[in-house]
Amino acid sequence: MRTSYSALDTFKTCPLKYKYQAIDKLRAPKRIEAVFGTLLHSALKYMFLRNPLYPTADEVIDYFTKAFNEKSEKIIWPDEKRKESDEKAYFDEGVKLIKNFYHKNQPWNFNALELESRFALEIPDEKEGVTHTLAGIIDRIDKNEADGSYEIIDYKTGKKMPAEKKLAENLQLNVYHLALVNRWPSIKPEKIKISLYFLKHNEKISATPEAGREEKTKKALLTTIREIEDMEKTGNFPPTPGPLCDWCGFRKMCPMWSHEYKKPETPSDEEAAEAIREYFAVKSSEDENKKKISELRGKILTYMDSQKLGRVFGGEGYITKTIQERVSFDIEKIKPILEKLGLWNEVLAPDMKKLQQIINTLPDSEQEVVLSAKTVKSFVTLKASKK
């Protein structure tokens, strides 16, 4: 398989979106959020090009302005009525980010070795006897002449900054780190630093991957690739709705959202629409009843406590107060004792989320045995969410 980190990341976010993009080769309309990020990356690449002098801040802004104007007409704006104001807001934001970044990162103070560097990383799967190719682009690679170290820098336009202690586990940066180690094997892995630069905060966080991280990265990539290949055999790529759906270009054709855009055309459409309306009406009544019961319960308990009663009677029956106990332990205190007696694993049920993370780090032979004990049960649920 030939793939990219962005494709694998899309799969982890939503398998169906991966299918639309990587297998069906469908092209979604470009939204402003994606175009905005691309334009900023392009402007920062231009900023570090020396030809023969580095461009000034004004020249970088002019470059961004021209590119923004060219792309603006092709962008699908979320709300056409607000297009003009939204367009101005994004443009002003871009100019502000470039000015702040240039002020803090004058290009002549850095030795940008490569910009938007392309790579093709081979990932052998010894278990299956095949080799996969992972392609990608690294935003920037700097070299520090003083100590001979290198720095991989990836620009981010999002607001959320991860904790620095988690950065060393960032799969994207570790893929870039692995690609550079493979391209230049003479460079010691510990001499390559990985960094994320958050443009909205004008802040950079950095880390150096721990020893042995290369193998963990390969294993994580192979795990995802195998998941994709398994789904390709069945053709079942389930949609995974989440916060990013609002920015997905395939929303109108996704089974999780397509009904929102469907106009009633048949009697079954009308019948379903009526059932949905009635469902929400009943659900709303149920929620109101739960709230009312909670209020009445509080009044009754207050009365029973004040009168020291264990049971109260009314025309419809009676209500009895009982005391239930929920037992809990200080895990840190009891764990050493239970481990010493060999009872720890018998007492506590496994945490499925943690277990899945552990499975992905096991050697292939042990992983195969553990996965053979895995069973998956499917069941249908309906969850009502009000707009």
Q: Are residues 111 and 206 in the same domain?
A: yes
Q: Are residues 277 and 216 in the same domain?
A: no
Q: Are residues 69 and 173 in the same domain?
A: yes
Residue 87 has pLDDT above 60, yes or no: yes
Q: Are residues 187 and 300 in the same domain?
A: no
Range 178-182 contact pairs with CB under 8 angstroms and sequence separation of 24 or more = 178/121, 178/214, 178/217, 178/218, 179/119, 179/121, 179/134, 179/136, 179/138, 180/119, 180/138, 180/141, 180/150, 180/152, 181/214, 182/121, 182/122
Burial track 100-114 (b if 16+ CB lie within 10 A, e otherwise): ebbeebebeebebeb
184, burial (CB in 10 Å: exposed 0-12, middle 13-18, buried 19+): exposed
Mean pLDDT of all residues belonging to the chain = 85
Q: Are strands 192-198 and 149-156 parallel, antiparallel or unpaired?
A: parallel
Domain-embedded: residue 339: no
Residue 263 has pLDDT above 90, yes or no: no
Final residue of a domain: which of 287, 314, 341?
Answer: 314
Q: Are residues 172 and 299 in the same domain?
A: no
Domain-embedded: residue 21: yes
Q: Give helix then strand counts, H and E, for the chain.
A: 13, 8
Final residue of a domain: which of 186, 214, 234?
Answer: 234
Domain-embedded: residue 333: no
Domain-embedded: residue 248: no
Average pLDDT over residues 234-250: 89
CB atoms under 10 Å from CB of 257, counted, come to 16
pTM score:
0.75
pLDDT at 118: 93
pLDDT digits (tens, 9 = 90+) for 166-208: 887 888 889 999 999 999 989 888 899 999 999 999 999 998 8
pLDDT digits (tens, 9 = 90+) for 142-171: 999 988 999 999 999 988 888 877 887 888
pLDDT at 14: 94
pLDDT at 258: 87
Q: Are residues 229 and 284 in the same domain?
A: no
Q: Are residues 222 and 277 in the same domain?
A: no
Q: Are residues 274 and 142 in the same domain?
A: no
Q: Who has greater pLDDT, 368 or 138?
A: 138
Domain-embedded: residue 325: no
Output DSSP code: residue 349. Answer: P
Q: Which of 130-144, 159-173, 326-340 has the lowest mean pLDDT?
A: 326-340
Total number of domains in the chain = 2
Domain-embedded: residue 243: no
Q: Who has greater pLDDT, 98 or 248?
A: 98
Residue 373 has pLDDT above 80, yes or no: no
* Residue 383 binned pLDDT confidence (cut-offs 50, 70, 90): low
pLDDT at 309: 81
CATH number of the domain to which 189 belongs: 3.90.320
Q: Are residues 227 and 300 in the same domain?
A: no
Q: What percent of the chain has pLDDT over 70?
A: 87
Average pLDDT over residues 59-68: 95
Domain-embedded: residue 303: yes
pLDDT at 85: 84
Domain-embedded: residue 347: no
Q: Are residues 277 and 217 in the same domain?
A: no
Q: Are residues 225 and 303 in the same domain?
A: no
Domain holding 296, by residue range, is: 267-314
Final residue of a domain: which of 210, 234, 258?
Answer: 234
Can you say whether the dihedral through the CA atoms of 181, 187, 193, 199 is positive or negative?
negative
Q: Are residues 164 and 31 in the same domain?
A: yes
